Structures are given as structure tokens and as C-alpha cells.
Amino acid sequence: MLIPCESQDGAVPVWFAAKDSWPRIKASLPDSARNFAGACGFEPVPGRCQILPNAAGGIAAVLFGIEPESAGFRDLFLPGELANLLPAGLYRFANAPYDAEAAALSWVLAGYRFGRYKHNGREPPKLCAPPGVDVARVERIARAVALGRDLINTPANDMGPDALEAAVLSLARQHGAKAAVMRGAELLQANLPLIHAVGQASAKPPRLAGFIFGEETHPKVTLAGKGVCFDSGGLDIKPEPAMALMKKDMGGAAAALAAASMVMAAGLPVRLRVIIPIVENAVSGSAMRPGDIYQSRKGLTVEIGNTDAEGRLILADALALGDEEAPDLLFDFATLTGAARVALGPDLPPFYTTDERLAADIERIGASVQDPVWRLPLWEPYGKLLESKTADLNNISGTPFAGSITAALFLRRFVEKAKSWAHFDIFAWTPKAKPGRPEGGEVQAARLVYELLEARFEARR
């Protein structure tokens, strides 16, 4: 929790100690504190925390190790670990970490708990906002991230298509956005056949929910997010280990909604459109089959090579819809491929774009705000792997190689008019807790996109 403090008197000081700064900090401490730290064997190792007592048995100060200036990589979110290590109380930064705003944000993000089904009674420590840190900005980012994490962490029995649709409409209402929903057969009437095909086997009908926020004269920014509330794999059913975390297969929708929440709360001067295709990939007599062929919104026919490659199908119609009005920026978020995890692991989502300026901005901003991504190529020769003998293209490549790249190439076939497009193949989950990132759902690339939009369009106010 971040507290605006008129005075930081009474707050426990936290000293950030690196190998190069520790001698100076140690020399400034009272003899009793310096001796206690020495007796405990404190060294300024990144992540090491040492509480220093006062004469009354309370906490006089806290020492916390961070990387030195010379380190090749510095984790700007490392101070967030203090939110898990310290007891309840009010704290302040006695000296500045490398990035005070990132440290404050990570403190707040680390305090997130998913308490819908099991409550954690621990009172989190409070932090006095460091000088110069915009508390309102940190809070709106943290609220948006918490929204997305809650959506991902909620199991599919409570986060099915109805609930995800309700979340889209609730966010739209909060910010006065104009929302609309199409369900079931309405999708066919509206020429969204791939979304309908993927979700037709579920007892809960497929749908497309979305909203528009901002003035028509502002730059057009469109966000699309994969909303598969549970992915059994369809008739190409997943094995049990691969199905265990499929409640998070709507993580792309959660990331898009989190980014949209930040944009709308900040009042950025953009005309924001959010498009969320929502389905459950279930098994029943009406499920799509391998070998079936469907026509897409764009007019391209698609052969179903595998029913477990459903995310790209619903995104294809969503992207084609968003692309029709030629937005200035079109982003999509999706838990699309296991191949992306094999290539880059769970913490580093790949992204794809043909816009060199956009790619440079994404890489730079992602690194600067601790929301990292890594660019992979839209390698054109691999597009031939998506060829079909009976349709315009297949939804899979039919090979075990370059799965994330071929999925991105598939999506690119449905983007034509947008001035710039980027696709994020996210994992949407933190397998093991890290500073600022508790174990569980995570809206990867959402903060990055918000920061990018803020950097590009804030000056237009």
C-alpha cells in the first residue's frame, strides 16, 4: 500500500545498500545499528533484508541489498520484495533506489493477494510515497494489474464466458465507454464465423464483447485480447498436465482489459477500441472437427488442422474487425503458443511487428518499466507451412518447429489496413513468485503498452 505522507516522521527508514554504497551507509548508522548488522553478518547481497532494532524493541531501520551501479542488469522491481518480508507498519525510503517510481509500484504490486476463495489475514506494510512519485499514477496502474490478475486467477467455473463478458461491460461502465456484445447466432449474422465455430460446442454461447472510449478525432488505438475461458483442446483434447492451467487461457483478454483500464483512467487523448472474443473451447457433438473448413470474416477460408489451435481463430476474426477501420495502432494479446515458452520461458513473451519504430519503442519501454518482451521475426518463408490443399490456409503448420512464429504469421494474414500492428504471445502466469509479481496470473505487456501510449500521446493534451 502506497500512502501520500505530508511528513515522513515516524516512518521506519529503509536503506538500499549496494556493494559500492554500503561502506558509506554503514558509516552513517548509529554504533548500535552498525554493530547489530555486523553481528548478523549482513552483506549487501541483492535481496538480503536485515531489520535493525531500537532500544525499545521496535524497528529502528531496515537494510536491503540491491545491485551495484556497475551491475549489467538491475532489477528495478527488487524493492517490492520488502512488501513480503517486512511486518505491518509504515516505512519510507531513506535513500533512493535506482528508480523510485518502479520501486514504489513493485511494493504495491507485491502486496496483491487473490482472496476470493481463501483470505490472507496478514496486514501488508505501508510505504510513504517517495518524493516526486505520482501516487495517483501508481495506484491506477496497480488497480488495473490487480483487475487482470483477478480475472486470470479466477477458475473457469466462476470465470466463464458470462463472467468475462460482465467484466468487459463493467470496465466500460466505469469509464463511460460505449459497449456492445454479440452472442451465439448473432456472431454469424455479424460475419464473425471463426469465433462462433470455436465456441459452438460449449453450453455457454460464444460472444464478442467490446467498447469504444474517447473522441473520434483522436488517434485510433485498438486492443484485442484472446478470451478463451477454458481450453480443453476441443476434439484434439489436451492431456491432463497441459489442461491444468487452462483457466488462464483468457489471459490475453485480461491483459487487454488491464491496459485499457490504465489508458482510460489516465484519460489519454486516444480513441480506444477494445475487442474481446470470448469462448470456451469445449467438447460436444457440435464441436468443430479436424479437417473442417470455415470462412473467416476477412473472406479467407481456414482448414482446421488442430482444434487446440483455437486462439488464433478467434483472434483472426477480432483482428479483421478491428483492422477494418484502419487504426493507427493495433495490438493483440494472447496466450497463444507453448512454443513461445519453449523459446523464451514464462517471463519473457515474444512480440511480433513489421514496424521498426514500434519495435524499438516496445523493446526500450518494456525494459525501462520492468515489463520485458523479446522480438521474434515474422519470417516470411515459414508462411508456406500454413498452406492448405483445400482452403486458403491451415490453422497450424503441421511441423513441430517455429510454432510461435507461424501462429503470428497466421494472424498477420488478417491485418491489412492498420498503420501499425504488434502481437504479444504471452504466458499470463508467474510460476514462481518474483519481486512485484506474486505466483499466479500476470498481465504481461499491459503496462508496457500503456507506457508506450502515454509516451506517444500524452503530449497531445
Under 8 Å between Cβ of 177 and 212: yes
Query: What 8-state DSSP symbol labels residue 334?
Result: E
Cell of 42: 549482513
CA distance 65 to 83: 14
Q: Which phi-psi region, left, alpha or beta, contains residue 198 (left: φ > 0; alpha: ψ -120 to 50)?
A: alpha
User: Is 238 a known active-site residue?
Assistant: yes
Give the C-alpha separation, 457 to 98, whole Å.
26
Cα dihedral 182, 184, 186, 191 sign = positive
Q: What letter represents residue 431's amino acid?
A: P
Chain length of the chain: 461
Sequence-distant (6+) residues with CB within 8 A of 136 are: none
CA distances from 71 to 58, 98, 197 (A): 34, 12, 51
Give dist(CA 416, CA 421) in Å, integer. 9
Q: Is 312 a catalytic residue?
A: yes
C-alpha 426/C-alpha 347 separation (Å) is: 9
* Among 74, 312, 437, 456, the one annotated catalytic: 312
CA 341, 343, 346: angle at the middle one, nearest 5? 30
Within a 13 Å sphere around the CA of 94, how many CA atoms are in the beta-carbon half? 17
Instruction: Quote the CA–CA distance of 237 and 384 in Å, as a whole number.
Output: 26
Q: Give dist(CA 412, CA 332) in Å, integer.
A: 11
CA distance 437 to 72: 22
Q: Are 187 and 207 in contact (CB under 8 A)?
A: yes
DSSP 280: E
Whether 281 and 310 have beta carbons less than 8 Å apart is answered as yes
- In a 3-state reduction of DSSP, which class is residue 265? helix
Q: Burial level of 1, CB count in 10 A (0-12/13-18/19+)?
A: middle
Q: Rounded to an integer, what distance in angstroms lies between the CA atom of residue 114 and that of residue 112?
A: 7
Choose among 441, 444, 437: nearest CA to 84. Answer: 437
Active-site residue set: 238, 312
